[in-house]
């Protein structure tokens, strides 16, 4: 296999809203470069990058696919990412290892919600970017309007490089303002492109776009700016050098007109990619944490340096096992190389190295700095792990996966499937770390969480397909708390049992009082004169703690109570630890019910980001969920609403928010505090608890 240096490798991620045509684009890019010999379609389920049964069935990308092609002796690695926000974790992983983010827009629809989210990620990763306006062959295509909106809402550096001669159903030619030529494309399967001069009626528009490009590039350096002011233009050579610099400094976001289905504009885009998109070498390396010294150093994409690779995704395939996708940040790696997993200090051997086109693997013996690849069967390596030479133990900055916005509890349909379910959920989390799993002992449920209902539903489907286990998703129980609002100065309980032979006897007097919220539990031994022997007092406390963990009103944990044991009696023969444990437990229960008990519920602070036009609807919805608005802020085209809302009212809130805002709203939440439950809600919770207890019996 041909070996590429870091300067001859371009890593691009195709990102954008669902349905913008990223998978179709990756297909036509592979075909144009001769990597495949037939063009698959999403509708027929035969594309290279959407190969899993669920992707074929739903006709959407669910997981990022790694692809590659050769164009003009350069290697272009393509990461085809999902467009639906449920799978946004995969998008962030791809953007962590690409060198240019290519935002794909639909010419008719323009800037959609997924694109806005992606635009924020581009800024978060400080990535060079480009914009592909796809589907210019759509009869409602609005290329100029969409490119203007892209400049306004995605990147002020957006400048048109190619634009349509005619848009709509007759779209078959583009004007390239760098080459100052028209390129006419024959039917998609022919790979035939004809170059011609720009006709007179398009000359002015082409010159205008070219001037915009020159002005934008001139802003990149003082030297270019001075040259532009002196001569009113830049030479072709200066423009050529300036474009790459402008992209790396994020001053320039080139915009291209294409049609993935008609293959129009694809060759010009690829020419630009290999000539002007920054390579790993151009971007100058990556900062990494030097473990032993605990400080950051820059590791250069030098093939002769110590090897360092970063795992950005795990794929689990039925007949292959786990496949770890990685980027080589430094050095060269080869089959049989031993590297240290910096996270756990374990040695991993690179057995089978591959380059991928979807699920098609081509084994290679070596990969060098800047490249993307895959390795089979790493024992103790996960997404976000760095593998490095023992001579250079560095850690690459991890991908910050998005916090979950939806959760559900898993209930097995058949007994005995728990181990299989646990193994399956672990694998699903390995494949997509934005899908989280935890067992919550307080509510005795396994909780899965993620970015949306589709992601959770697919997890359930995969459990059935891969592990032959079926589960139901239900609303998680709410971790209510129980406490008291008043004091009881003397509550007494005597446990006395005689059943032949030795009996049981334990007798205690408590004082019970509420503590400030968040204090917990306090037990005071105020026994005087040994009326309760010291050896039985720990048993009394243990009895109290046991009933507190089980709850009195609704099976929820009791908090913020002070108990003072101040009196009691004992029997020299019948008293023992168990008797006093029972007495402590029952006395607490009795006193608790006398001390104005109440339920507390968890309140979460939420931050909802919505376009201004939906603000009224969203605020009304928050109020209907017993929410309290804390304040508002603005962020460009969005309003941010801050509110406190009971957790009980947030189940499936993300789905509701999406439907309220046509998919443009997003929110995040975090636990704030516990607050007393309104009486009518408390009564309902207690009734449901008692009913479930009866059904359980």
Is residue 664 classed as helix, strand or coil in its secondary structure?
Answer: coil
C-alpha neighbours within 13 Å on the C-beta side of residue 257 = 31
Can you tell me the mean pLDDT for 623-627? 95
Distance CA 307, CA 337 (A): 10
Q: Residue 319's pLDDT is what?
A: 60
Between 596 and 322, the more confident residue is 596
pLDDT in tens, 356-412: 999 889 999 999 999 999 999 788 999 999 999 999 999 999 999 988 889 999 999
CA gap 395, 398 in Å, rounded: 8
| DSSP string of 7-21, one letter each residue | GGEEEEEEE-STTSS
Tell me: the pLDDT tens digits for 266-277? 999 999 999 999
Question: For 603-620, what is each residue's pLDDT tens digit?
Answer: 999 999 888 899 999 999
Structure tokens at 45: 């389920």
Separation of alpha carbons 519 and 124, rounded Å: 39
Phi-psi region of 665 (alpha: psi -120 to 50; beta: other; left: phi over 0): beta
Torsion of CA 14, 17, 21, 23, to 10 degrees: 50
Specify the pLDDT at position 674.
95
Backbone angles phi, psi at 145, to 5 degrees: -65, -45
Distance CA 632, CA 273 (A): 42
63: its two tokens: 């997981």
- 8 Å CB contact between 255 and 159: yes
The full set of domains in the chain, from first to last, is 6-283 (3.40.50.300), 286-396 (2.40.30.10), 406-474 (3.30.70.870), 482-595 (3.30.230.10), 599-680 (3.30.70.240)
**Terminal CA-to-CA distance of the chain, rounded, Å?**
68
Does residue 295 carry a pLDDT above 90? no
**Average pLDDT of the chain, as a whole number:** 92
What digits encode the pLDDT tens for the residues 186-197? 998 899 999 999
Measured CA to CA, the distance from residue 211 to residue 144 in angstroms comes to 16
Q: What is the mean pLDDT of residues 427-437?
A: 90
What is the spatial distance between Cα 147 and Cα 110, in angstroms, rounded to a whole number? 8
Mean pLDDT of 643-652: 94
**Cβ contact 410:439 at 8 Å:** no
Q: Is 680 exposed, middle or buried (0-12, 13-18, 19+ CB in 10 A)?
A: exposed
Q: Which two tokens stand for residue 315?
A: 């794929």
User: pLDDT band for position 232 (50/70/90)?
Assistant: confident
Cβ(512)–Cβ(595) under 8 Å?
yes
Beta strands, E only, 389-455: 394-396, 406-412, 436-440, 445-450
Q: How far apart are CA 263 and CA 272, in angstroms?
A: 16
Residue 320 has pLDDT above 70, yes or no: no
Rounded distance, CA 641 to CA 633, Å? 7
pLDDT, position 544: 97
Exposed, middle or buried: residue 70 (CB in 10 Å: 0-12, 13-18, 19+)? middle
Instruction: State what percent of residues in the chain have pLDDT above 90.
Output: 73
Cβ 339 vs Cβ 350: under 8 Å = yes
How much is the pLDDT for 482? 96
Tell me the backbone φ, ψ of residue 280, rounded to 5 degrees: -60, -35
DSSP conformation class of 507: E
Candidates 614, 658, 655, 622; CA nearest to 117 is: 658
Q: Position of tokens 């919770």?
A: 685
pLDDT tens digit sequence for 471-515 = 999 999 999 999 999 999 999 999 998 776 778 999 999 999 999
**Percent of the chain surpassing pLDDT 70:** 99
pLDDT of residue 318: 67
pLDDT at 3: 86
Instruction: Name the one residue in this structure whose structure tokens are 């931050």.
Output: 607
- Per-residue pLDDT at 39: 93
- In contact, 542 and 517? CB cutoff 8 Å: no
Is 581 a residue whose pLDDT tops 90?
Answer: yes
Q: What is the 3-state secondary structure (H, E, C) of 214-268?
A: HHHHHCCCHHHHHHHHHHCCCCHHHHHHHHHHHHHCCCCEEEEECECCCCECHHH
Q: What share of the chain is helix, strand, coil (3-state, %, to 5)?
A: 30, 35, 35
SS (H, E, C) 480-500: CEEEECCCEEEEEEEEEECCC
CA 483 remoteness from chain centre: 37
Q: Which of 79, 176, 116, 38 is closest to 637 using CA atoms?
A: 116
Q: How far apart are CA 425 and CA 496, in angstroms?
A: 50
Q: How large is the average pLDDT for residues 279-302?
A: 89
Mean pLDDT of the 100-110 span: 95
Candidates 145, 60, 79; CA nearest to 111 is 145
Residue 50 has a pLDDT of 87
State residue 696's pLDDT score: 62
Give the integer Cα–Cα distance in Å for 79 and 112. 21
Reply yes or no on whether the pLDDT at 665 is more than 90: no
CA distance 512 to 558: 13
Element (H, E) at 332: strand 332-334
Q: Which two tokens stand for residue 86?
A: 């449920």
pLDDT confidence of 228, banded at 50, 70, 90? Answer: confident
Give yes or no for a contact between 374 and 364, defined as CB atoms under 8 angstroms apart.
no
Is 697 a residue whose pLDDT tops 60? Answer: no
Q: Over 80: is that where the pLDDT of 695 sits?
A: no
Compute the residue count for the chain: 697
At 385, list the tokens: 């792990």
> What backbone phi and psi angles, to 5 degrees, belong to 163?
-140, 160
**Residue range 663-669: average pLDDT?**
85
pLDDT in the model for residue 223: 86
Other Cβ atoms less than 10 A from the Cβ of 689: the count is 18
**Residue 144 scores a pLDDT above 80:** yes
Asked if 570 and 531 touch (Cβ cutoff 8 Å), the reply is yes
Encoded tokens for 184: 């006419």
């Amino acid at each position: 296999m041909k070996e590429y240096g870091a300067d001859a490798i371009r890593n691009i991620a195709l990102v954008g809203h669902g349905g913008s045509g990223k998978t179709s684009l990756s297909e036509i890019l592979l075909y144009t470069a001769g990597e495949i010999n037939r063009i698959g379609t999403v509708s027929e389920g035969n594309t290279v990058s959407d190969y899993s049964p669920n992707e074929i069935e739903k006709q959407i990308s669910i997981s990022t696919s790694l692809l590659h092609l050769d164009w003009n002796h350069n290697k272009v690695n393509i990461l085809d990412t999902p467009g639906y926000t449920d799978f946004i974790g995969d998008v962030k992983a791809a953007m962590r290892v690409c060198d240019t983010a290519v935002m794909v827009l639909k010419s008719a629809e323009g800037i959609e919600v997924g694109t806005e989210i992606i635009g924020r990620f581009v800024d978060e990763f400080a990535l060079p970017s480009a914009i592909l306006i796809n589907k210019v062959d759509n009869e409602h295509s609005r290329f100029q309007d969409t490119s203007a909106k892209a400049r306004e809402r995605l990147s002020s550096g957006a400048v048109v490089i190619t634009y349509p001669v005619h848009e709509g159903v007759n779209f078959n030619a583009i004007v390239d303002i760098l080459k100052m030529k028209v390129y006419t494309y024959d039917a998609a399967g022919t790979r035939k492109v004809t170059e011609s001069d720009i006709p007179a009626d398009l000359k002015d528009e082409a010159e205008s776009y070219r001037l915009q490009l020159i002005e934008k590039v001139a802003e990149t350096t003082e030297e270019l700016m001075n040259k532009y002011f002196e001569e009113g233009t830049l030479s072709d050579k200066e423009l050529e050098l300036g474009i790459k610099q402008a992209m790396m400094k994020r001053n320039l976001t080139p915009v291209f007109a294409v049609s993935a289905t008609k293959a129009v504009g694809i060759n010009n885009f690829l020419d630009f990619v290999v000539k002007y998109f920054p390579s790993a070498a151009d971007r100058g390396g990556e900062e990494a944490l030097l473990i032993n010294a605990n400080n950051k150093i820059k590791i250069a994409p030098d093939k002769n340096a110590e090897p360092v690779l970063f795992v950005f995704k795990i794929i689990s395939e039925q007949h292959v096992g786990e496949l770890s996708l990685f980027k080589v940040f430094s050095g060269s790696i080869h089959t049989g190389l031993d590297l240290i997993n910096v996270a756990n200090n374990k040695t991993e051997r690179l057995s089978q190295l591959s380059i991928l086109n979807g699920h098609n693997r081509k084994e290679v013996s070596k990969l060098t700095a800047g490249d993307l690849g895959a390795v089979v069967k790493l024992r103790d390596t996960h997404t976000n792990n760095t593998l490095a030479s023992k001579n250079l133990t560095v850690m690459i900055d991890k991908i910050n996966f998005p916090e979950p916005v939806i959760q559900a509890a898993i209930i097995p349909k058949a007994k005995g499937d728990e181990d299989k379910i646990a193994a399956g959920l672990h694998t699903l989390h390995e494949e997509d770390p934005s899908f989280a799993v935890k067992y919550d002992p307080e509510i005795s449920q396994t909780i899965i969480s993620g970015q949306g209902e589709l992601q959770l539903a697919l997890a359930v489907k995969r459990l059935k397909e891969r592990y032959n286990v079926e589960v139901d998703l239900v609303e998680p129980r709410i971790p209510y708390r129980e406490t008291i609002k008043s004091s009881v100065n003397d509550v007494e309980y005597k446990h006395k049992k005689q059943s032949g032979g030795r009996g049981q006897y334990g007798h205690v007097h408590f004082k019970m009082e509420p503590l400030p919220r968040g204090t917990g539990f306090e037990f005071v031994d105020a026994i005087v004169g040994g009326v309760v022997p010291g050896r039985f007092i720990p048993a009394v406390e243990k009895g109290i703690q046991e009933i507190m963990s089980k709850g009195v009103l609704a099976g929820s944990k009791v908090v913020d109570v002070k108990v003072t044991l101040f009196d009691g009696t004992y029997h020299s023969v019948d008293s023992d630890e168990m008797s006093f444990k029972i007495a402590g437990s029952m006395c607490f229960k009795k006193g608790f019910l006398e001390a104005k008990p109440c339920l507390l519920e968890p309140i979460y602070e939420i931050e909802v980001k919505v376009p201004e036009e939906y603000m009224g609807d969203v605020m009304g919805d928050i109020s209907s969920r017993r929410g309290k608005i804390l304040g508002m802020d603005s962020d460009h085209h969005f309003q941010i609403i801050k509110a406190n809302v009971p957790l009980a009212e947030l189940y499936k809130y993300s789905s509701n928010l999406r439907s309220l805002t046509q998919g443009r709203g997003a929110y995040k939440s975090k636990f704030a505090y516990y607050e007393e439950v309104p009486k009518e809600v408390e009564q309902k919770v207690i009734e449901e608890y008692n009913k479930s207890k009866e059904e359980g019996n």
